[in-house]
Amino acid sequence: MLLIDDAELYSLVNRLRNGDERAFNTLYHTYFKPLYGKVFSMVKDEAIADELIQELFLKVWQKREELNPDYSFTAFLYKITNNMVFDFFRKVAKDSRLAAKLIINATEYYLHSDELLESKEARQVLTNAINQLSPQRKLIFTYCKLEGKSYEEASRNFGLSVATINSHITQSLKAIRQFVAKNYLLVLMQLMLSLFNKLP
C-alpha cells in the first residue's frame, strides 16, 4: 500500500525521529483510515478499533527515535498492529464478558454485511446458531435477515402478521446472541485463526 511517495515518506519519518509533531500528524492522518479499517474488520467494534489505533500511534510516537527511514514504515505499522490485535485477543480469551461482547458485535455485523459470504468462520458460527432455532423461526429469520426480504413480504409469504414476524425475528436474534455468547471460546479461536488472512 503506497499512501505517500517514497521521498516524502522518507522525509516525514526522519522528521518524526527528531520529534517533529507536524510530521507525526501527517503520518497519523495518512494511515489512520486504512489501519482502522483493518482492525475494525477483526474486532467489529468501533470503540475498540479506535482505542487500538490510538494506542498504536502512541507507541509510534514513543518509539520514534528507533525508527529507521530505510525500513518500510508501512510494514512497521502493520507489524505493530498485528502484535496489538493478537495481544487484544489474548486478553479477550481471559475475559469471558469482553469475549461475549466482542462475539455478539461480530454476529450483529455479519448479519448485516456481505462479508458473511466471504468469511467461512463467521458463516459456520452463524449457521450453527441459526440451526438451533425452531423450524418456523429459522425459515422466517433466513428469509428476512439473510435473503433481505422485508417484514411485509414475509407477512404475505408466511400468512402471518407483521407484528408476529417482528416477534419471531426479535426472539431469533436473542437466541443467536445467547448461543454465540455461550460458545465464545470456539468463536474466538476461529477469529484468531482468521487474523493471518487479515493483516500483512
Number of H helices, E strands in the chain: 10, 0
Distance of CA 137 to the CA centre of its chain: 27
Contacts of 196 (CB under 8 A, 6+ apart): none
Q: What is the CA radius of gyration of the chain?
A: 22
Helix 21-43 with 46-62: angle, nearest 10 deg: 140
The whole-number pLDDT of residue 52 equals 92
Residue 103 sits in the same domain as residue 183:
yes
Question: Would 132 be classed as within a structural domain?
Answer: yes
Q: Which helix H or strand E contains 195, and what residues bound it?
A: none
Quickly count: other Cβ atoms within 10 Å of residue 187's Cβ: 27
Q: Are residues 53 and 121 in the same domain?
A: no
- pLDDT of res. 117: 42
Q: What is the DSSP letter of 147?
A: S
Structure confidence at residue 89 (pLDDT): 76
pLDDT at residue number 90: 76
Please identify which residue in the block is written with the cell numbers 429459522: 138
**Residues 108, 190: one domain?**
yes
* Distances 137 to 39, 48, 72 between C-alpha atoms, Å: 33, 33, 52
User: What is the residue-level pLDDT of the chain in tens, covering all 200 positions?
Assistant: 446 788 898 999 999 999 999 999 999 999 999 899 888 877 777 888 899 999 999 999 998 998 888 888 888 898 888 888 878 877 776 766 666 666 666 666 555 555 444 456 556 777 888 899 999 999 999 899 888 899 999 999 999 999 999 999 999 988 887 787 666 656 655 555 555 444 44
CA distance 29 to 63: 18
The three cell numbers of residue 148 are 433481505
Q: What is the pLDDT of residue 196?
A: 42
Domain count, the chain: 2
Q: Quote the domain boundaries for residue 174.
A: 96-197
Q: Enter the C-alpha cell of residue 24.
A: 507525526
Nearest to 146 by CA among 161, 171, 127: 127
Q: Which of 69, 27, 30, 77 is nearest to 52 (CA)?
A: 77
Predicted TM-score (pTM) of the model is 0.56
- Residue that is last in its domain, among 48, 64, 93: 93
Question: Could you give phi then psi for residue 128, rounded to 5 degrees?
Answer: -60, -40
Name residue, grid cell 413480504.
153
Both 106 and 189 in one domain: the answer is: yes
What is the total residue count of the chain? Answer: 200
Residue 11 and residue 76 share a domain: yes
Q: Provide the pLDDT for residue 116.
A: 47
